[in-house]
Amino acid sequence: MLKRKRGEERERDQLEEETLITTTNNMNMDIVWQTPANSPHRDDYICLNGKRHVKPYYFEFICHVKNRWSGKTIVDLFTDEFKGRNHDYYVRAVKCGRIQVDGKNVSIYRRVKTSEKISHFVHRHEPPVMAWDVSVLKEEEEVLTVYKPASVPVHACGQYWKNTVVGILEAEHGLAPLFPIHRLDRLVSGLLIFARTSSQADTFRQQIEGGLVQKMYIAKVLGVFPEGEQVVDVNINHDPREKRSHAEGGNGSANINLKGKAACTKFKRISTDGDHSIVLCEPLTGRTHQIRVHLQYAGHPIANDILYLGESAGQRSTEAESADRAAARLRDPLSSRNSQSIEDPEEDTFTDFSKDPMCTHCPNLAPNGYDRHEEGLWLHCVRYTGPDWTYECPYPDWAKID
């Protein structure tokens, strides 16, 4: 009886696999595979429940075998190095040709060699961003400035390719190529400057590296920030695994084993209502999360910054909801420009795209693991000033404190 049951299970698994391969191969006849060479288009985007989604699309990820990968089977390589999907998925992907070596289908037992080209064909689901416009502030012959909304990354990175400032500007305004001369964290809003030629980008880069450019931000922080100019000159150590930075030393500490990099930020209070303060921030160096860490160190963290509100925020959580965040929503509701982020539908679904039998994210529009509780930081870039130029961005609505 046991042998018979196992035999039936094997037959069922084989039938399911054959059906999957047949279905996928039939689909491949109609699939148009995209690469970074393909430009985003306006109709790639869907605005739904206050978020900007990208219609899932077929994409070819390409990499080359590193020395430490050499000798592994193709399935073991993907299972060990790309943990977003499980072993069974990679077995099926190799068998139906969704994973290839040097453009050819291979056995699941095929061992890879250094420098071989590996292609992984996927049905790509990008995380949504908030459905705010990327507004053009000033368009010149060699320079473009825009108002970057919070939640949108500047350029392609990680899971994002089309849902970026660069992608949206190309799709909706036909602006390409663009060369970002500085970057803002994904959750930060404000002024973003692009050069429109490589020579202009080099000029900006030389000025920044030469210390000739002054940067100015504003932040909404907890508590009554002190009057007068406050300077925080404290090393910052960034942990890429935790995606979090830490302040080191300070207060006259003579610790000679500091691992962080020198960092200095000037602060000046603009206004306060007793619960929050609007603070002008001038970073004199450019470390990861510098303003956020130095404000935390000063005892006045950004009021909706879950990552740096306190020691309990050291570990990231997709479901995190601090008391301050909840209170801030009641005391200072966001304006119509930002209010869409308050919506929290149980699921963002959209039926007008083709489901893929190999996809681990279908039938949902957003990818698995998307943090739907995310909101923009109360940190905003307002001005960049160089030797003979100044570019500015309007203040956001949260910066108004009577």
Dihedral over Cα of 5, 6, 10, 13: its sign: positive
Catalytic residue, from 43, 80, 102, 185: name it: 185
Residue 12 to residue 29: CA distance in whole angstroms: 26
At 42 the pLDDT is 95
Instruction: Give the model confidence (pLDDT) of 142-190 as tens digits.
Output: 999 999 999 999 999 888 999 999 999 999 999 999 999 999 999 999 9
The pLDDT of residue 160 is 93
Q: Which fold has domain 57-124?
A: 3.10.290
How is residue 287 written in tokens? 């470390």
d(CA 285, CA 167): 29
- Residues of the chain within CATH 3.30.2350.10 domain(s) are 214-338+376-382+395-402
Q: Per-residue pLDDT tens for 18-77? A: 544 454 454 454 688 888 888 999 999 999 989 999 999 999 999 999 999 999 999 999
Find out whether 384 and 191 touch, Cβ atoms under 8 Å.
yes
Task: Find where tokens 């030797």 sit.
Answer: 387
Quick: pLDDT tens for 237-247: 998 888 899 99
| pLDDT reading at 386 higher than 60 | yes
The model's confidence at residue 338, banded by pLDDT at 50, 70 and 90, is: very low
CATH 3.10.290.10 positions along the chain are: 57-124
The confidence band for 369, taking pLDDT boundaries of 50, 70 and 90, is confident
DSSP 7-69: HHHHHHHHHHHHHHHHHHHHHHTT---B-TTSPP-GGGEEEETTEEEE--EEEEEEEE--GGG
Q: Is 185 a catalytic residue?
A: yes
User: How many Å apart are CA 342 and CA 336, to the nearest integer?
Assistant: 11
- At 222 the pLDDT is 97
pLDDT band at 195 (very low <50, low <70, confident <90, very high): very high
Lowest mean pLDDT across 211-225, 251-265, 385-399: 251-265
Among 166-180, 205-219, 258-272, 356-370, the minimum mean pLDDT is found in 356-370
φ, ψ of residue 56 in degrees (nearest 5): -55, 145
In terms of CATH, what superfamily is 214-338+376-382+395-402?
Pseudouridine synthase (3.30.2350.10)
